[in-house]
Structure formats: structure tokens, C-alpha cells
Amino acid sequence: MTHIVKFFETTLRDGEQTPGINYFAEEKLEIARALADMGFDTLDCGFAISGEPEFEAIRLIARSVANAEICSIARCYPADIDRAWEAVKDAAHSSIHPFISTSPLHREVKLGKTRDDVLEMARTAVARGRQYTPNVDFALEDTTRTEHDFILEVVGAVRAEGVRFVALCDTVGFALPWEFGQLVADVKREFPDVRISAHCHDDLGLAVANALSGLSNGAERVDTCFNGLGERAGNAATEDVVMAIRTRRADLDLDVNVDTTKIIPTSRLIARLSGMQPQWTKSVVGANAFAHGGGIHQDGVLKDRRTYEIMRPEDIGLPPSETRMHVGKLSGRAALNAQLKELGYDLAPDQLARAFQLVKLVLGKKKVLEEMDLRRCADTAINPTATVADALVVEAQANGAAE
């Protein structure tokens, strides 16, 4: 039976820890509504005890968004747990999410705590949270650099206190996909009833691969951020995990319960409010994700999109015509013809050949063609009285534009 993957969407928490991002409360609410409307299960909305504005923003979302579970994270201190609960308790669906670093490096350098200290703090944090709600999840920060036996010890301790999900965290993006999958499998073998969430960072570009490996080995939930935001190099990107699972669902035996047609509008909303645009070649949501530059590729796509596109633009919320032919140095005649048709031209083969020559001439002088350049080339090519002199005028104009 196909398993439906759950999401712990953390654009509003780990995503806001992206250096350079600062959402105002109303902006967090706008993003929360968009994420809830897409169908994500739990929205990690922030760290309630980190300050008054953060607390107020989480409470605003909790009181306004009923169609997703609203979560606050907390350190393993009583005051943190209480504050997290205070922020989310008015929500239709709520959860709290204590965390503590478990790795020797973090224990010694960051916390100044022993294994026993950490174990006790984890246990009491979950127990305290459980006094408020059954929806208490727990994260082992830096799990992937933690001793194997201690991971099992901590998971066993929070399990005994009635934890719901345990997040195994590749906090520093250090794991390799097969290692992360093995970690999940090991914990599942020891505690088959523990539900696992995969929290993976992208320091080595492996966050999505690690998360998928975790899901294939028994994790039921994944922590993700839109546009690959998050601390340092970001978290596993929401859009990537969603579309990887949707596109390869038959082979993964997994699927998502998410409205994928809202990916682009939501990505753009978050890009606008975060002030961070995805890079052009970003998977799924990048400006070039459905653009084709090479002549051979363009010819293929114009014959049948499936030759070079594994997703349909309309499935992620782009117009079907979003497939774009970039007319550049390496592009071919078929793409130029398609582009000129969109501009209302219908060139005979000899005219197209001439326009193609002119375009290449201009691209020797100018980095990027604008619509005006394409029109000028087409007009010159169509004009039966056009001469070599006209071509030189085109070139001179392009030259002028470049200077």
C-alpha cells in the first residue's frame, strides 16, 4: 500500500533562521495560510521563548489557521515548554517540539552537559509537554554525529514518556544518503512503534537525497523548507521533496497529500516576503526549471515536451506554455521559429534562415536578446529589399545597445 508522507513544514522556523530573513507577524500569517492551504500537516511556526514578537506571531497563526497543526519548538527547559504551549494552545490543532543536542561535540562544547544530563532533560521535557498535549514531538539535534548507543538510549527514554514523533536530525548536513537511511532503519528495528521524522540540511547538497533515504527506510514524516531556505545552506526543499515523491511515486511506493499546483504561487510569496529569490537553476521553482537553451534540446521539446521535461509545468502551478525556448548562442532554428511565432511572425524557410543568421550576428555583440532585437531581426529578414547593409545596421544597433 502506498504510504502518504507527512510534512513538518519549517519555512517559518528553520526557514526564518536563514541569515538575512526577518518576517513580520502578518507576513508569517500569510505564509502559514498558504502552507496550510497546500495541505501540509504541521507548520513549525517558530521558537516561542526566543522573544515577544516571535511568541505573538506564533499565537496569531495559532488563532487564525485551523487547517494545519501549529507547532512551536522549545529547548528542554520547563519555561520553554510552557511558553511553547502558551503560544499554540489556542489552535484548532497544535503540537510542541522540544529538542536537545545529543552529539558529544555539542554536549561538551555547547551545552557543558553529560550524557546522563541530556538524557534526563529530554525525558523531563517530553513528560512536561505531555501534561499539556499528547502532540509532543522530540528532536535529537545533531543526531548524525551522535554515538549510536546514545541515540537509541534517548529515543527509548522519550518513547517511554509518550513522545509522538522523533526527529532524527542531520543538523549539519554531514550524512550520506545510505548512512541516514541506515540510521532510520536501526532506530525502527529497535523501536518499531516510534514514528520518525527526517530533518536534513543541505551543506553537501544531500538534504533531499538524505530525506528520501530516511523515508524509504521507515521515516513517516519529513522536515522541509520552501525554496531550500534554512540555516546555512538550508533544509531539504519542500518543493523538491514533494515533486520527487510525486514524480517517482510508483517506484518509491510513497505519495504526498499536497496540492502541487500551489507550489509556484507559494514559492513566489515566500521569495517576496523573505527577500531571497531562488537561483535560476533551482530545481522545480527556479526561473530556468522549464527553459531550454541548447538547439538539440529545443528541437526535442518542441516535438514533444517529454523528451526533456519530467514534470509538467501546470502540475506545479505554471501555465502550460511556461516551457520556454531561450534564443541564445547555442540555440537552434526551431526555437527561433517558435519564439517568433509567439511574437506573431510566420516566416518562410528562407526568411527564417536569414533571421537566424541575423540573430547570431547580434549575439556576437550582445549578451541577451530582448524582444526588440528579435523583432528587428525578423523584420529585416522578411523585408525582400533588405540587403547586407541592413544586416550591418542590425549589428550596429546591437553594438550600440551593448555599449
Q: Which residues bind Mn ion (CB under 5 A)?
A: 14
Query: In angstroms, what is the minimal distance from the CB of 298 to Mn ion?
Result: 40
Query: In angstroms, what is the minimal distance from the CB of 171 to Mn ion?
Result: 6
Query: In angstroms, what is the minimal distance from the CB of 131 to Mn ion?
Result: 26
Cβ closest to Mn ion, residue 9 vs residue 14: 14
Q: Are 243 and 5 in contact (CB under 8 A)?
A: no
Which has the closest alpha carbon to 393: 347, 353, 362?
Answer: 362
Cβ closest to Mn ion, residue 101 vs residue 217: 101
Cβ closest to Mn ion, residue 14 vs residue 82: 14
Which has the closest alpha carbon to 78: 70, 86, 89, 67?
Answer: 86
Which has the closest alpha carbon to 172: 205, 137, 142?
Answer: 142
Owner of C-alpha cell 507550489: 263
- CA dist list (Å): 390 to 366, 377, 378, 380, 381: 18, 10, 12, 7, 9
DSSP 285: T
Q: Are 39 and 259 in contact (CB under 8 A)?
A: yes
CA gap 251, 155 in Å, rounded:
30
For Mn ion, the nearest residue by Cβ is 14
Cβ closest to Mn ion, residue 231 vs residue 373: 231
Cβ closest to Mn ion, residue 44 vs residue 86: 44
Cβ closest to Mn ion, residue 18 vs residue 331: 18
